[in-house]
Structure 1
């Protein structure tokens, strides 16, 4: 994966503010690489170099599409916000008088699908961190929204500001994490009415990557958009023309969208910001027990959200989200990283490509600690997500305990996995130098290549250098104290935090940001009851 860093010196925004550039910008963009001691890949957005996997035939995909349209036309979806129902009625949907139920004519659905963009750029406050969303591009985001954090030193604990900030620092430090996908842990020591203000200020000061804001009512998402606009140093008009953040909308499966989320969609889509509609459909619980039935429900809910975004603002950026897995039918607990999850991740990608919109999926597991289960379930999840054509892989680093815990050691384990995925996606070079005929002539039969000039010129960068994997022989490993993977990951996350440097932020932007947050806190923030 080649670095996509841009050179250049100081630049100015259209509003005349001095922006970041030159050596400071390049140092921030390669954080953790170059002079830092932890080996990691250079910053760059990976892409899938070959066609994504498919599990279903075109006829089967069309059968799911037709069944989804039938659900929307006959059963409908509950929209719990009156203003949303008004918008949909004006767009031509069938809204039951005195009811929350909305039904969609299939012609209306097809019309709105056609206006959603196939790909778009999301602009970070550091332009070198901009992301392409759609096509064959991939963006990995950190863990988001767990109520608890953990590490092997202090154990499991309720989410707090210290852990929140440290996880943001890790997300900034590691180049393979391309964006923050939400609060990496919920800091419950901050009051809910102002939590979004304090947290998003941390996000845009501790990181310079693409970020996220929660659509928990109109006030919070409006505040979030203003924070990201200020952080980028752009005018409201330019912000509305350039996607600059993401918001995840989870439907309340089955077949329901709640009022706070709908308010968020209305605000985001009206200002041209990407909405990712992700049904949380667990087969056997909130969705049919059959995978095809669960995908039909997922698809119907995603299409209902797509139609709404386009009814608010034709051409508004939309991301098709899939989060269909199964439950443990013995206990009812969600299961992740399962064969069923892999299948639905791949099918979800087929559906998104059917509608020509970007696709969001996730890296998940149900393990309770950083062990073999955590690793192999994440590998399975990532395989389904990446090979299924995922553009936005959420929860890519740190997810543990079915999403209830943000684990510092799991974050590092996942970074190692993500880097290995990126290395796997790199094309294999086949040219005169890589074919190595001169090296084979030099060594000849029965020799070895350690001392060959061809090897000496390439050995430092020839192979992926892992963060966690231990390749020493047994004797050397024992002499080093027989370290386990979690112990090495524990040391790596501490080293990364020690080496972290905050990305540059224009003082004028910081002052404006602080003034906005202070004013909104003084005004009371956002309501806590909906």
Structure 2
């Protein structure tokens, strides 16, 4: 062997490897950080035009022949009636509302296909709709869990911790809403603490309260303190996540909340929670048709209140175990349904919320991540614009897991790289990488490698990719245990984003006055 000939290449290799070691930090992925993802890959169109038209026709038939039952909100019924709906009184507080085919689509023409939700830090303002995708944490769990303390009811301290974890992740774009239920705070007052936690411990966009119209109004009033009343009057700064009562019911608490957000020009998400075989047909085409009908009828109310108010079409499609009656999450059939919902949303030119990191596993284990990936990828491939439940979902949504939260965030980072797509250029084709040293020579020290080594591949902050022997020597720590260490490190080093002291004081004063105005309510 000609050692003198090989020496320069060896020196280049050592220098290249040394430079990589000094510069690269695991899990940084600085080139992938964005306030929201701009899709660089196409959506997957599962069904052809004929099949989509049949689903739309079935949704129209549901709306025209069966109708939507509305309860305890005569003002919403009045708005639908004046828009041309056929209203039949069922009782003093309930009405059946039917819509001629095409009526709701016409009403929804004024809803924006894409809108901006402003964050208090303008660098974190997000776009929702079109080719934009936003990841937000999971929502609504009464329990929290971690490897140290097991499963327990959530507290306001847990809520604040989870907001901090979300704020600390570069792979979430949104602070979310009810990340867990803080059950140590009275039901009628906890919305104030939750909204304040999002405002104080995060500088990202967030969701407000929807559990009563007056709580929705409080959420918007607090935004007027944070952002300024004039800014809120002209811009979207908060969203509400509203569920229909399936099958085919809109209750008064929901419609009054929708009207409260729409009157203020704020955004709302309109979500049927469909459990196949229980509150929707167990066949996926039927569930999707029902989902479309319910979400359209809910979205349309926003345009009757204030044309142009942002509205997000949504679907939470779920299968069930027909042997036990238990919901199942992360299964393939609802994933296919999410793909179809994406196509239908694009035909309506409405932003879409669907799917997420769903799982019925009781631990942050292999089942949890397998089910999550099945569900999350359907949202990615289907073109979802706002993906709630992107981090922490466990136990069929009953529990928010600290460990799974950081595991899901790591996956979300990988999805940033996946959704960026493949750039094809003279540089990325890499001809020079092969030509520099020629056949039979490695590429470690080439100029192309040194130019791209920090950005070529996504680098996990959580995975262990070392050889087996090294992993064993370091204790054989599994992914859940690594995640346990990781969330504790994040919280130990967390620093709250700065907030103007006068604004913070005004928010705390508002909360104190509101809480003092009513007795504690626990139901």
- Distance in 1 (alpha carbons) for counterparts of 2:255 and 2:489: 42
Which digits, 9 at most, give the CA deviation of each residue in 1:135-161, with x for residues without a partner? 010000011110011111111111111
Select which of 372, 380, 397 maps to 2:391: 397
Residue in 2 that maps onto 1:269: 262
Residue in 1 that maps onto 2:506: 512
Select which of 266, 276, 286 maps to 1:283: 276
* Alignment partner of 1:436 is 2:425: no
Residue in 1 that maps onto 2:13: none
Residue in 2 that maps onto 1:308: 301
- Distance in 2 (alpha carbons) for counterparts of 1:380 and 1:35: 31
Secondary structure of 1:432's counterpart equals: coil
* Alignment partner of 1:94 is 2:86: yes
* Alignment partner of 1:203 is 2:198: yes
- Distance in 2 (alpha carbons) for counterparts of 1:162 and 1:329: 38
Select which of 40, 43, 57 maps to 1:52: 43
- Distance in 2 (alpha carbons) for counterparts of 1:110 and 1:440: 56
* Alignment partner of 1:85 is 2:74: no
* Alignment partner of 1:181 is 2:176: yes
Where do 1:363-512 residues align within 5 Å? 363=356, 364-512=358-506
* Displacement after TM superposition at 1:527 (Å): 7.2
* Alignment partner of 1:168 is 2:179: no
Structure 1 contact 215–263 (Cα < 8 Å) conserved: no
- Higher mean Cα deviation, 256-265 or 91-100? 91-100
- Distance in 2 (alpha carbons) for counterparts of 1:293 and 1:104: 19
Residue in 2 that maps onto 1:259: 252
Shift in alpha-carbon separation, 1:461–1:40, aligned structure 2, 3 A: closer
* Displacement after TM superposition at 1:506 (Å): 1.1
Structure 2 contact 59–290 (Cα < 8 Å) conserved: yes
- Distance in 1 (alpha carbons) for counterparts of 2:41 and 2:454: 28
Structure 2 contact 136–174 (Cα < 8 Å) conserved: yes
- Distance in 1 (alpha carbons) for counterparts of 2:244 and 2:363: 29
Which digits, 9 at most, give the CA deviation of each residue in 1:17-37, with x for residues without a partner? xxxxxxxxxxxxxxxxx9998
* TM-score, length basis structure 1: 0.90
Shift in alpha-carbon separation, 1:525–1:442, aligned structure 2, 3 A: farther
* Alignment partner of 1:351 is 2:344: yes
- Cα RMSD, aligned residues only: 1.9
* Displacement after TM superposition at 1:416 (Å): 1.1
Runs (5+) with no aligned partner, structure 2: 1-22
- Higher mean Cα deviation, 457-466 or 162-171? 457-466
- Distance in 2 (alpha carbons) for counterparts of 1:466 and 1:199: 31
Structure 2 contact 269–314 (Cα < 8 Å) conserved: yes
Shift in alpha-carbon separation, 1:332–1:257, aligned structure 2, 3 A: same
Structure 1 contact 220–526 (Cα < 8 Å) conserved: no
Structure 1 contact 142–177 (Cα < 8 Å) conserved: yes
- Distance in 2 (alpha carbons) for counterparts of 1:103 and 1:464: 51
Shift in alpha-carbon separation, 1:197–1:493, aligned structure 2, 3 A: same
Which digits, 9 at most, give the CA deviation of each residue in 1:296-349, with x for residues without a partner? 111110111122111111221110011112111111111111111210110111
Runs of 4+ in 1 over 4 A off after TM superposition: 34-38, 525-529
- Distance in 1 (alpha carbons) for counterparts of 2:417 and 2:224: 34
- Distance in 2 (alpha carbons) for counterparts of 1:161 and 1:36: 34
Structure 2 contact 394–400 (Cα < 8 Å) conserved: yes
Shift in alpha-carbon separation, 1:526–1:74, aligned structure 2, 3 A: farther
- Distance in 1 (alpha carbons) for counterparts of 2:425 and 2:102: 52
- Distance in 1 (alpha carbons) for counterparts of 2:99 and 2:484: 51
* Displacement after TM superposition at 1:526 (Å): 9.3
* Alignment partner of 1:158 is 2:147: no
Residue in 1 that maps onto 2:327: 334
Runs (5+) with no aligned partner, structure 1: 1-33
- Distance in 2 (alpha carbons) for counterparts of 1:319 and 1:417: 25
Structure of greater Rg: 2
* Displacement after TM superposition at 1:433 (Å): 3.1
* Alignment partner of 1:250 is 2:221: no
* Displacement after TM superposition at 1:379 (Å): 0.8
Residue in 1 that maps onto 2:63: 72
* Displacement after TM superposition at 1:428 (Å): 2.6
- Higher mean Cα deviation, 373-382 or 101-110? 101-110
* Alignment partner of 1:116 is 2:111: yes
Shift in alpha-carbon separation, 1:162–1:86, aligned structure 2, 3 A: same
Q: How many residue pairs align between the two structures?
A: 494
Select which of 28, 31, 50 maps to 1:39: 28
Shift in alpha-carbon separation, 1:452–1:40, aligned structure 2, 3 A: closer
- Distance in 2 (alpha carbons) for counterparts of 1:528 and 1:165: 20
